[in-house]
Structure 1
């Protein structure tokens, strides 16, 4: 008689193989999924958390008087905290402080808050860039594993691909096929069966969110993201070819020059100012120019880093259609490039929109709550999987599901594995490694049996 699951209907070798692969995928992915879900859930509320931490610096009482000029606010900030001006964020609302960004002689970056009505310097923090605070900067680094450099980036890419494999294999295992599985609600109230149902039910409701979050996080990855970027650019549906060709460009990519840039622009070179000499235009002129151009409130201005650099105003509001990047010549104040959401190719727009949803921005609080629930569900599913494994594993063993005796799987399964490996290159490599280990174990088992 064929083996059965939980004493039910006998299962096939295919089911056993899928169950084994699902176990391996979970073993590799679930610890990272918990980390990503927890840090992602926190980062969804980046602005709210930052306001709670630094509300005394970032908020001011609106006054009837006019706000002071940007140059005046920057001057007062630098007088209190000497350094070189690196950026300026005008108040995003009447109750918000201006933010002046500077770097000291020791190289430390400082974000200085200034009351736009009185010019009073309210205080400073370490400049955490787009994250807005040291806490959110740390959470973001943990979320992407940037703490361990390029290797961490590859690990996260593998996790994203393997999480999709988890969804595929998990859905297959959940599918009823006449057996006592496939439930949409909990049927047990205790024991290992409760944890099994909790894992399965949570997983089936969360499956779509896992796939969406995995795919929309991949554009930042080193291997998949680069290939996706190159293909979209080559097809003319990412960043329009020759967009910067009207003016000379540098060798510095936009991602290195700005705190944040649209994903589709990250590899594009920064434009250059017309001449590396002369007197740069003032901050007041730059602010006036971009606001007359209709840039959305909440924008930031990056100051040129050298004699050939440019001023850059950029904004990434909740409504991704208002996303915009404007480059200005630092000597003439001329607008060199003005890129909005509508200027991107179809794939570029799709990528920017999906990234905005991924970060909980596009649909406001509803977006945040839905993804928060998805993150909680991912943690619950991961924990239930760990508990279920712990309860069922033999004492002193890992408890890997047994190998099926018949390894002649349908060609469809092989095709799916090949396609998955081709779509996720790093997953393909790890699949080959796992398959080699499986073959080694199978050969060893047969050799011992002989």
Structure 2
């Protein structure tokens, strides 16, 4: 919703068209952008929030004594919460509780927290999956609008694409064409005017936008792989060109029809739709959980891993970990009866797109470079909210009473060819954006026809 910086380029049809495009896209996307930023900021600190809200369940006093065996901790959990064992997570650190996932008779899953030193059951929470708690589960679902169904998810995908295009158009509108020779910096990298004045809000919007543009592009592009349509196409393309999951991992063993994402709480994005292997036998005596945990630890899996129990006679144990260190991400499937590894995937095993996607996802979620990653992204999200609000305030101050105040195209001009090229390219790369462009074009044509009828 950036206003023109100076009058020199305002008369060009492309400039005015991009300004109008930027205005409507910003106005429509603003509520969703604010929601994404607020929920994203909360989710960046999900571990810290979970520890604060549920400290009595998640944190224990370290002891000098040995921890109890996993089987003993599971037995204590099942005594307190009868049901079917679904998973087990060993303590991630000396001051952490063990987590036992149990499904009750109603089919709902709970996480039972057990002190690993004395076996005392500390309590339970409804299973929030990778979010770690029911409250963070709600935040995660709100962030993707999954509560509102598939259509809302497509809307979020469209907003992500529009954020990329708005950033590009915003830079075009901001570009100091006439000010480069004069050396004027006001409204380019500094804010003019006083709070409350229209110029102040215009400059605040433009200057904030230029400084935060890189973060907008990064967050939008690293969020798109999770989207319903764009993500699937990127996924398929990565495999088609041999840069996703390398072929050959499934040659040695039969596989199930169950994708990895339905087996564990979080799967690496590039392999989430890959099948899980099957055990070499469909009967026998299952391996002991104690031995499975010992095997996984012996393979050097990073602390904080979780193990999913086999759900069928030919199923497998699946261990996975996603620490705040992207290269240590790992998934291991073990035979249900022998306890031997069937499949061991690490980040280094992925193709180029797979590794890039995992690094992008890790940084996007604040899980790559510790607290610095979280704080930098938090600052960027706060700035994006400020950018959005300043655009709304600027629009409200400049709009004529009783009018939307949308920028108008120069009289007597057609649709600029440059805008058509941009629209086609943007619509093809971001299909949900392309659909919204077509809808907007129909609206514009109808509005133009109505205006002509009124003036005829």
Taking structure 2 as the reference length, what is the TM-score of the superposition? 0.95
The 8 Å contact of residues 13 and 410 in structure 2, kept in 1 or not, is answered as yes
1:407 to partner: Cα distance: 3.6
Whether 1:428 and 2:434 are equivalent positions in the alignment is yes
Partner SS for 2:54:
helix
Aligned residue for 2:329?
Answer: 323
Whether 1:32 and 2:38 are equivalent positions in the alignment is no
Partner SS for 2:314:
coil
Task: Show CA shifts across 1:343-402 (max 9, x none).
Answer: 000110010001100001111111100000000001111111111111111212222112
Aligned residue for 2:52?
Answer: 52
Partner SS for 2:320:
strand
1:6 to partner: Cα distance: 8.1
How many Å separate the matches in 1 of 2:118 and 2:6?
76
Aligned residue for 1:391?
Answer: 397
1:229-240 equivalence runs, <5 A: 229-240=235-246
How many Å separate the matches in 1 of 2:249 and 2:211?
43
Gaps of 5+ in 2: none
Aligned residue for 1:303?
Answer: 309
How many Å separate the matches in 2 of 1:148 and 1:330?
38
Aligned residue for 2:247?
Answer: 241
Pick closer, same or farther for the CA change 1:270–1:347 going to 2, 3 Å.
Answer: same
Aligned residue for 1:382?
Answer: 388
1:164-313 equivalence runs, <5 A: 164-178=164-178, 182-190=187-195, 191-313=197-319
Gaps of 5+ in 1: none
Aligned residue for 1:102?
Answer: 102
Aligned residue for 1:17?
Answer: 17
The 8 Å contact of residues 256 and 277 in structure 2, kept in 1 or not, is answered as yes
How many Å separate the matches in 2 of 1:61 and 1:443?
73
Task: Show CA shifts across 1:204-248 (max 9, x none).
Answer: 111110011000000011110000000101111011123222111
What is the CA RMSD across the aligned residues, in angstroms?
1.6
The 8 Å contact of residues 17 and 419 in structure 2, kept in 1 or not, is answered as no
1:7 to partner: Cα distance: 8.0
Pick closer, same or farther for the CA change 1:122–1:31 going to 2, 3 Å.
Answer: same
Taking structure 1 as the reference length, what is the TM-score of the superposition? 0.96
Whether 1:83 and 2:83 are equivalent positions in the alignment is yes
- State which of 321, 340, 344 in structure 1 corresponds to 2:346: 340
How many Å separate the matches in 1 of 2:409 and 2:11?
13
How many Å separate the matches in 1 of 2:262 and 2:139?
20
Partner SS for 2:281:
coil
Aligned residue for 1:67?
Answer: 67
Partner SS for 1:88:
strand
Which has the larger displacement, 182-191 or 122-131? 182-191
1:414 to partner: Cα distance: 2.5
How many Å separate the matches in 2 of 1:6 and 1:217?
31
How many Å separate the matches in 2 of 1:7 and 1:265?
50
How many Å separate the matches in 2 of 1:6 and 1:253?
52
How many Å separate the matches in 1 of 2:319 and 2:236?
26
Size of the alignment, in residue pairs?
447
1:445 to partner: Cα distance: 2.1
How many Å separate the matches in 2 of 1:26 and 1:329?
52
How many Å separate the matches in 2 of 1:274 and 1:105?
30
